[in-house]
Amino acid sequence: MRQIVLDTETTGLDPKFGHRLVELAAVEMRSRRLTGSRFHRYLNPEREIDGKAQEIHGLSLEFLEDKPKFRDVAPEFLDFVSGAELIIHNAPFDLSFLNMELGLLDLPALDLPVIDTLVLAKELHPGKRNNLDALCERYAVNNSKRILHGALLDAELLAEVYLAMTRGQESLVIELDGADSFGEVGSFERRLVVQRADPDELAAHAEQLEQIDKASQGACIWHQSA
């Protein structure tokens, strides 16, 4: 299965007030492994950046003025995510900006399956902090380089967090109601698929049991029952 972990940075909190994307990043996973393939662009938002937003991501308009506009990178981005399952933390936020940008170009909204890791985290850890920093700490993912928010770094961290959260599940798609937040993305199906061990993993497991059995002088219960 091809999955794309995606994150954005913006000029402000709400595209309804004219806020735009300033950074867009996506990293590819296949069969729950990062492939090294990625899409990353800084974007000229063609408008001012809110002070609070700039404090979060550190991107200034001066830095972004010579960067491409979203319309310049849209075809490449759409090609990169085509046919994939998206993994996003707080998906309504990022999708609302992406669909707004696509709408400005008279392009249809994204119509791809989406896993919202914030929804998943709240189900797994109700009542606890579930932002990206909290999840990195909970799942022992090193986020020491995350001084400021950055779309590429956050997408890479989220990929590690997602793999730790799902632990061997091939896919877990959370049902997301509320078309208003998602634009035209709509609702998503909930499904759980268990990933079976492949021959190499089974062989490694058998070898480990053999070593335990030898060290315990034949007392390995798992080896006896295997």
pTM above 0.85, yes or no: no
Specify whether domain 2-195 bears CATH 3.30.420.10. yes
In 72-217, where do the E strands start and end? Answer: 85-88, 114-116, 169-173, 191-194
- Least Cα distance to 6 among 91, 79, 65 occurs for 91
Catalytic residue among 40, 89, 149, 223: 149
Helix, strand or coil, per DSSP, at residue 176: coil
β-pair partners for 2: 30
Distance (Å, whole) CA 97 – CA 112: 15
Residues 35 and 4: beta-carbon distance below 8 Å: no
Q: Which tens digits make up the pLDDT trace of 204-221?
A: 666 666 766 666 566 555
91-104 and 70-81 helices, crossing angle to 10°: 120
Q: Judging by DSSP bridges, how do beta strands 21-30 and 114-116 pair with one another?
A: unpaired
- Least Cα distance to 192 among 123, 110, 93 occurs for 123
Mean pLDDT of the chain: 85
- Whether 149 is catalytic is yes
Model pLDDT, residue 147: 75
User: Residue 226, CB half-sphere, CA atoms under 13 Å: how many?
Assistant: 16
Distance (Å, whole) CA 34 – CA 19: 31
Distance (Å, whole) CA 38 – CA 25: 7
Q: Which tens digits make up the pLDDT trace of 82-122?
A: 999 999 999 999 999 999 999 999 999 999 999 999 999 99
Is residue 117 packed enough to be buried (19+ CB in 10 Å), middle (13-18) or exposed (0-12)?
buried
Q: Which tens digits make up the pLDDT trace of 65-87?
A: 999 999 999 999 999 999 999 99
CA 179 to mean position of chain CA atoms: 20
Q: Which tens digits make up the pLDDT trace of 21-60?
A: 999 999 999 999 999 999 999 999 999 999 999 999 999 9
